[in-house]
Structure 1
Amino acid sequence: MIRWFIVVFLALLLINALTPWLQRVGFGKLPGDFRFRWLGREWFLPVTSTIVLSLLVSLVAKVI
Structure 2
Amino acid sequence: MNEIGRLLVGIGLFLLLLGGLVLLLGKAGIPLGRLPGDIAYRGKHTSFYFPLATCILLSVALSLVFYLLSRFRR
Higher strand share: 1
Give the aligned partner of residue 5 of structure 2. 2
Q: Which has the higher contact order (CA 8 A, sep 6+)?
A: 1
Give the partner amino acid of 1:8.
Answer: I
Under a length normalisation based on structure 1, what TM-score does the superposition of the two structures give? 0.56
Report the alpha carbon displacement of residue 27 of structure 1 after superposing the two structures with TM: 6.6
**Partner of residue 11, structure 1:** 14
CA–CA distance in structure 1, aligned partners of residues 67 and 29 of structure 2: 19
TM-score (norm 2): 0.51
Deviations 1:16-62 (A, max 9, x none): 1111333447472263x45678xxxxx77441122121122033224
Q: Is the Cα–Cα contact under 8 Å of residues 30 and 48 in structure 1 kept in the other structure? A: no
Runs (4+) of structure 1 moved beyond 4 Å?
33-37
State the match for 2:46 in structure 1: none
The CA RMSD over aligned residues, in Å, is 3.1
1:56 equivalent in alignment to 2:64: yes
- For structure 2, the residue ranges without an aligned partner over 5 or more in a row are 43-48
Q: Which has the larger radius of gyration?
A: 2
